[in-house]
Chains A and B, each alone.
Chain A
């Protein structure tokens, strides 16, 4: 498709399990971003990729969170040993480059619920 695609759209899992969230950016976009949105809140930056490298990981909340990007395209956000406070919508965005004149375009997110 033409937009940012995220999967799954919804994920319910038990506390302590690992989860993987996937993002397919817009074709040709070199920059990819992960954000977290808790209920009724704004977007919290997690990590961004330029190509396959991550210049800024400053937003990852703990070492249970990791992300990778392969082939300059698809990215996976992994949360290990999930906790209830990890419940949120995880949004992915991409832009043509990471510069400030390049707006980010968002997917519809993965709604993660930890029981």
Chain B
């Protein structure tokens, strides 16, 4: 089946630093999604990418859909303490209902 490799597994950074995380897949996806999950809550959608090569921003967050359609990255600029959480990438096929999720990147921001 499809698998996503998400890295890094965890990050410990200082407030104000930039962060980068990425996902790679063994197969092609038509949509890439990035979610953030905080303790006791479900994942919340941050950015959705629908075209290969697409670069999309949402405030301090920027994500790109790789040209090969097998990878995506998420950047967070000027991190703040409330950025703490687990970030998941997910890939979706055109006709398959399910999303395939990476194992997450746990982000810790030190004030």
A-side residues, CB < 8 A to B, are 4, 31, 33, 35, 41-45, 48, 50, 55-56, 59, 91, 93, 98-101, 103-109
Contacts and interface: CB of A to CB of B under 8 A. Distances in A.
B63 interface: no
Contact of B94 (A59, A100, A108): A100
A104 B31 contact: no
Contacts of B96: 56, 98
A108 B40 contact: yes
Interface stretch (B12-20, B43-51, B71-79): B43-51
Interface in B83-99: 88, 90, 92-99
A106 B99 CA distance: 12
Interface centre among A31, A103, A106 (most CB of B within 10 A): A103
Contacts of A91: 42-43
B30 interface: yes
Contact of B31 (A43, A93, A100): A100
Interface in B30-58: 30-31, 33, 35, 40-45, 48, 50
B42 A109 contact: yes
Given A42-B88, A42-B104, A100-B30, A105 B97 contact: no
A59 B42 contact: no
B105 to A, nearest CB: 10
Nearest to B33: A103
Given A107-B42, A108-B42, A109-B42, A56 B103 contact: no
B17 to A, nearest CB: 24
Given A41-B103, A42-B103, A43-B88, A99 B94 contact: yes
A108 B104 CA distance: 17
B72 to A, nearest CB: 14
Contact of A108 (B29, B41, B50, B97): B41
24 contacts: A4-B42, A33-B99, A35-B101, A42-B4, A42-B101, A43-B43, A43-B90, A45-B98, A50-B97, A56-B98, A91-B42, A98-B97, A99-B94, A100-B29, A100-B31, A100-B95, A103-B31, A104-B99, A105-B45, A106-B35, A106-B43, A107-B42, A108-B40, A109-B42
